[in-house]
A and B are shown apart, each in its own frame.
Chain A
Amino acid sequence: MNWELIFGQLQWTSFVFAGAILDPSLSEFIASGAGSIAVLGAVAVVILLTVKRWWVPLWRDWLTSVDHKKVGIMYMVLALVMFARAVIEAALMRAQQLVAYDSAGFLSADHFGQLFSTHGTIMIFFVAMPFITGLMNYVMPLQIGARDVSFPLLNAISLMLTVAGAILIMISLVVGQFSTGGWTAYPPFTGIEFSPGEGVDYWIWAVSLGSIGSTLTGLNFAVTIYKKRCPGMTLFRMPLFCWTTLCTSILMIFAMAPLTAVTVMLALDRYAGFHFFTNGDGGNMMNYANLFWLFGHPEVYILILPAFGVWSEVVATFSAKRIYGYTSLVYATMCIAVLSFAVWLHHFFTMGQSANVNAIFGIATMVIGVPTGVKVYDWLLTMVGGRIRFSTSMLFLINFLLTFILGGLTGVLLANPGVDFQVHNTLFLVAHFHNMIIPGVLFGMFAAVQFWFPKAFGFRLHEGLGRASFWCFAPGFLLAFFPLYWLGMMGATRRTYMWSDPEYLPWLALAMAGAGLILAGFAFMVTQIVVSVRQRDRLACPLGDPWDGRALEWSIPAPAPEWNFAVLPDVTSRDAFYEAKQSGQAYRSPAAYEDIEVPRNTATAPLIGLFACAWAFGLVWHIWWLVAVSFVLMWAVVIVRSFNMNTVEIIPAARVKAQNEAFLAAARAAPGVPREQEMTSDNRGKALPEALTARAGAVPAGRAVEVLS
């Protein structure tokens, strides 16, 4: 019996627990502990679902759903789960670097290498990407007045491919090792000669699945924005979040393909002995760097642009003022999107090309600071003269403005090739990109969760705990990463697992303290969600407009009904809902209702995800029968689905009418809350229009309002 035919390269020693038995050391115990947490976590979820009898609802209402709102929420859940893992890995790395002064610390070099590789890969592909994709999924169709995205099933397939990639990375905790090549996986180190194991293959297939999912998402959202806007919603009436979604989608369409190509080439090198990136035989690893960053730099803007959209919505809403310089923000977004394709070379100034090439890319990089600067001024000027409420989202915004500018300045420093040669590959760089991504993207997504959570679930998040998490996250970030700038200037290289320079110690200790604060912030955030769910009656805002919102998504109930809009809105201006409230046109009954067509639930997407995951697992372990079978099954699902011509169902007009009229009647009857009571239980989701508040003379304009609950 040839076991290799059945199990490929999988052996019992591949399981992480075998390491702890064969080589008992702290490093191996930590690896086994992480593996156990993954296994126990999965078991706990299975038990919970069984005990609560949630299997059927989970399958029927969520996994098989193609509703953009549910797909969006599932993306966000995925992002939070993966964030939990990657942030703990970050804390472990900080701890290792702290104790590894003149000693080996408690992690082996290989284990440390796996940690920084999974941390980076997860944070980019399975935290940041699902976060922004989930948010765009939930918010964008509501903001343009659409009932769904253009291709709902394709949307669900994107989600399930991303989930398949994430599951593959989780499996790597238990079965085998992950790559030690960092999130960029540069060859020749990641070639078969120097990384013969399964680790790089895990990276390749997890990233490829995520990459294909994102390509499809970009396509889907771009078509949605071009073709599905409601009547009157011209491009220049769209909320800014839709503009940033459009630019991000376009970037995804163009930038994900090079990543797919480069992972396939690396796979061919490793599996079939090709010579794309090998040493010798005509291979050229710098081509990898080019292709990877041809994806990688636009990727940075794929992540930050939706966050810029969030900031634009947050600052306008919580300043109770129209966004300053709408048109300039649109053009700035477009400029950034275009320029993002012209700077990729700054990731490898040290490659050895001529100084003139470096100079051109250095200048192009600095030029990106201009449209970004325009945005910062626009946000600042939006606040000027506004009636600012310091809600959690707004605190994140102010923190973003302060810290992001510092990160941008260090970016301009790095854009100078001369400086870059000095700090290349040091912790200075690590500090810089964390300085952009954490206050910009991650906190942007946290602010977005605080902001749109009530729309998705019908109740607000607990404000006090939100602020507590902010006051841990914001200083935690500063403590964790500003010392790294200093360390980088002192010459500390990145991805190093032990030290011998005593001068590093105090800075590493500060960074460790920062990591602790970030973990505390995350704990507060989880607590906030749990407490808010428990107190959901007190925090409920079923009338859908808790923040005196401006765009169309606030004009419908919370949580949003399956069909989004009972009747497609007709828009005549920017900030359509806000204008309607001001002129007393909001909450009017439509003249007539029609039947609504919605796509039926289908098992297609989760099945594709399942077989894609099995396919990738088979490839990682060279289990060829599994590769063949799951590949055939994956496409069989697609083909079978294509023979199903009965994919939509009709919601009768009477049902839509009953539900919508009940909502409108409740909204009209509700008194509405002024902004200073926004965070109290009086806020049921109907805002008192500001014009009326001002007339009542409750709060003079220009005064900041304290809103702590």
Chain B
Amino acid sequence: MSASPTSRSPDLARLVEEGYDLSLLGGLLLVRRLPYVGPFRQVREGVLVVPLNLRGDVTTAPRTHLVSWIGKTPHTAEGERFSAVVWKSGGMHTSALVETTHTFCVRPPGREFHDYHELVTTYATLLGTHAERLSPGVMARFGDADATGRTRAPAAVGPQPWTGSRRRGAGDGGPRYADTASSRAGIDGLNARLSETVGIIGLGGTGSHVLDLVVKTAVRAIHLFDADTFEQHNAFRSPGAASLADVSAGRRKVDHFARVYSAMRTGIVPHAVRIDERNAHLLDGLGFCFVCIDDAPGKAPILDRLSSASIPWIDVGMGLAATPDGIVGALRTTVGTPTSFDEARRRIPTGPPVRDDYALNVQTGDLNALNAALAVVEWKRMRGFYASDRTALNSVLIVGDGLSSTETLP
């Protein structure tokens, strides 16, 4: 490995000191000879492939917790596929010289990894702990190992893996304290109908309110997707009360909201990415998805992927204009299901923003909240939480007179 990135990057230098075998290939960090348990409980060595975020040839905080792997499918010491780590077969990070076999997904609760030392040691420990149990001493060469040869669990790191699976399993979460509102009302049984993995793409005014409502339901996990930073103006269209420190911290929206709502439940997984063609596969494990983004042209790859994966979705949008008489406009809630994906998409703007005095970006927190509530109510209808004998395609609420109109499927 070239001297400069390790010598100038404290996190990489520390990994070398602790006995990790590092090499750099393009923008990828390869960590070789990592012990793990392969199929048939055989202890093997594999290669972790980590995309490096560099500035001036020095590492900065990792942008993603997703890494790739070269090796067999990791298993636990018991011989089970290690689904808490392995998200999917096939690596994300590959080049002409590196062909990866799997993608791993583990992250500390409520945040991304602080640096590459934390990232590499977390993955190495998760895999190595199982190898160590079958082959004691195999992890001893790492400085991280204690006198008994057993690796310590990384401090303050509780993995929250994204398994990409709709099955109940690792990555699932739940409330930190009992939902006594539901038990008092005697609707605990209905909550089970909402037990699925939900995605929220876009944490602007409407998406943040969707999260505020979904987080209080019995969903198994909530995956948040947004690459933007939480800023002062966002506070005025989001639920709750952000402090001056919150709006000054420069956190990504996904991290801000995961942090806030992790006070109430686990299983909130932030993904600080803008979903496009290259990473739309991140949505594959969802059971349901709310699409709450302003970028109309950017919706195509999202809706393409959700539809091809047969994942039902609700897309929300508002069109408001300030006139001398006050604000006018409408809220839209559009439902895509396997029987209506194409028809639903015709109701959704996907072109560039209209250049017109009448189509300025007017939004208000109350209408963001209302649009979010309409979407969440519709999702609950779809899941049978609310009794309904119709299948909605598109609902419109006119702000000026409160009139609503819903198109349904035949």
- Real complex partners, A and B? no
B contacts, CB < 8 Å to A: none
Chain A residues with CB under 8 Å of chain B are: none
